[in-house]
Amino acid sequence: MPKQTFLNLPEEKRRNIASAAIEEFAEFGFEASSINRIVANSGISKGSFYQYFEDKMDVFKYLMDVIAKEKTEYYKGKHPPSANLGTFEYFHWLIKTGMEFNSSYPRLVQAISRVLLAEGLYYGKDLAEYHKMSTDGITMMIKQAMENGELDPSVDVELAVIIMETWTNAISTYILNEGMKQKDVMKWLRSAKTREKIDKMLYVMEYGLRKTESQFVAGI
């Protein structure tokens, strides 16, 4: 995490350093990123960098905390359309509201997603605490779905978490890969076509690929 010397800096200087790091990770990912470019683009010396952070992983974890705080504040002003939403309906709402958040912070989200998903650091030991927070949330959601009678109680919770997490990451990866091709990421994220695509991906996650018994009987 950042050292106290970084936290003592004026807000504008902290913001400049964070912006330089965001651009670096968004453009190059983690492995190919360079501390030299971060310091050059933020207008600080390399010696100052090490007074503020241990290494570039320390910088990335700082950005993880930044996006977590921003997202928490963002969701405070958002409310589900109904207090009686089912678990999967609530999950759909979370995904779509998350897309709206992403459209407000496209470069930060791109930097985080590229490192976590495209490079796979999400599953590494350095970011294990963040991974655990995510899986804990999904576990609670799945257990709630079982209590609500929305899921077969015989389903293995641990496997269900893996599947739901993988599907969530698949959606995020799709948004990242397609978004990087767009001239206007925010416009693309907010388009009806993109939202329809996400709806279809969520539908497959919830209902699967196999025909139901009633569909077989009906010859669909």
Tell me the C-alpha distance between 36 and 26, whole Å. Answer: 16
| pLDDT reported for residue 44 | 96
The superfamily in CATH containing domain 78-218 is: Tetracycline Repressor, domain 2 (1.10.357.10)
* Contacts (Cβ under 8 Å, ≥6 apart) of 24: 33, 34, 37, 38, 41, 111
Q: What is the dihedral of CA 97, 198, 109, 167, to 10 degrees?
A: 110
Nearest to 35 by CA among 9, 27, 45: 45
Angle at 195 between CA 214 and CA 147, to 5 degrees: 50
Length of the chain: 220
Q: Which of 77, 72, 9, 64 is nearest to 42 (CA)?
A: 9
Average confidence (pLDDT) over 158-167: 89
pLDDT-derived band at 216, boundaries 50, 70, 90: very low
- CATH number listed for the domain at residues 1-61: 1.10.10.60
pTM comes to 0.80
State the Cα–Cα distance between residues 97 and 202, nearest whole angstrom.
Answer: 14
* Residue 212 DSSP symbol: P
The chain-wide mean pLDDT, for the chain, equals 87
Domain residue limits, the chain = 1-61, 78-218
pLDDT tens-digit readout, 32-86: 999 999 999 999 999 999 999 999 999 999 999 999 999 889 888 888 888 788 8
